[in-house]
Amino acid sequence: MSESTVNAQTNAHMSKGDVLMRVEDLQKSFGALQVTDHASFAVERGSITGLIGPNGAGKSTMFNLISGFYQPEGGSVEVNDADVTGMQPYEVAEHGLIRTFQTPRKVEGMTVREAMLVGPQNQPGESFFELFTAPSRVGEAERENLDRVEQVLEEFEIDHLATQPATDLSGGQMKLVELARAMLAKPDILLLDEPVAGVNPTLANKLADQIRRLNEAGTTFLIIEHDMDFIMNLADPIIVLDQGSVLTEGTPDDIRANERVIDAYLGGGGA
């Protein structure tokens, strides 16, 4: 094998290894409306990547396509080098990708601790069959889940909320619980859909600190956010979506200064 072949192979491997999630030529329409229009981008492992764009640009649809809640009409999604296109959300989660929703899941009648306990993915306790075939495994897994929930509640400094009804929380506290709950699945990449929408500035700062802490511990983030100060201070790079396709990508400073981005926001009604 020649030296150049070895180098080319090493480089190809390295550049692939740096990418945790890749979207290639993704397409989705609702009736006559092409909501995702041949969109392609990649999220680098270890990054906090921002996904911004005017209202209706197709950001949430993109999250639904990536995480398996919508099926694309064309193109592909890769997570951790595996093709996850068309998979169910739980299967995509098994490949290391978890997402949160703009509006947190309903948790009526549950305390925060209980809401956290329904979070972990694929716990053996959910398997009726295993209750009979491996009851000790169920007990063990449930104890582990309880321990992990207590640990995560402490890490997120929300242990004082553990016994409160989840429905009594403020919007910001609920977003914090959602983030903590998503982390129970130990994702490699977490997709957050507007984590600080309707959240007061103190809690928004707390959320940003938690995201940075988790990122430093190895979690990669892709974050949709309309709050420009929040996302520009937290994320790098920033990907801009407009009318279903990627308009540009760059550092926060590049994006702030980009005329096409400014035009897209003005044309689209702004954020």
Ligand X SMILES: Nc1ncnc2c1ncn2[C@@H]1O[C@H](COP(=O)(O)OP(=O)(O)OP(=O)(O)O)[C@@H](O)[C@H]1O
Report 2-31 residues binding ligand X (CB under 6 A).
Answer: 30
* 47 versus 61: smaller Cβ distance to ligand X: 61
Nearest distance in Å: CB 266, ligand X: 15
| Beta carbon of residue 101, minimum distance to ligand X (angstroms, whole number) | 11
Minimum Å gap between C-beta 15 and ligand X is 29
Query: Taking a C-beta distance cutoff of 8 angstroms, is the pair 162, 111 a contact?
Result: yes
- Kindly identify the residues of this chain, within the stretch 29-48, that bind ligand X according to CB under 6 A: 30, 35
Closer to ligand X by CB, 58 or 187: give it.
58
Q: Which is nearer to ligand X, 69 or 114 (CB)?
A: 69
Q: Nearer Cβ to ligand X, position 88 or 122?
A: 88
Residues 47-106 that bind ligand X (CB under 6 A): 53, 55-61
What is the nearest approach in angstroms of ligand X to the Cβ of residue 242? 9
**The three-state (H, E, C) secondary structure of the chain, written as one string:** CCHHHHHHHHHHHHHHHHEEEEEEEEEEEECCEEEEEEEEEEEECCCEEEEECCCCCCHHHHHHHHCCCCCCCEEEEEECCEECCCCCHHHHHHCCEEECCCCCCCCCCCEHHHHHHCCCCCCHHHCHHHHHHCHHHHHHHHHHHHHHHHHHHHHCCCHHHCCCEHHHCCHHHHHHHHHHHHHCCCCCEEEEECCCCCCCHHHHHHHHHHHHHHHHCCCEEEEECCCHHHHHHHCECEEEEECCEEEEEECHHHHHHCHHHHHHHHHHCCC
Minimum Å gap between C-beta 199 and ligand X is 16
166 to 205, contacts with ligand X by CB under 6 A? none
Nearer to ligand X, 6 or 262 (CB): 262
- Considering the complex, what minimum distance in angstroms separates the CB of residue 77 from ligand X? 16
Looking at residue 52, its amino acid is: I
Nearer to ligand X, 43 or 115 (CB): 43
Size of the site for ligand X (CB under 6 A): 10
- Note the residues at the interface with ligand X (CB under 6 A): 30, 35, 53, 55-61
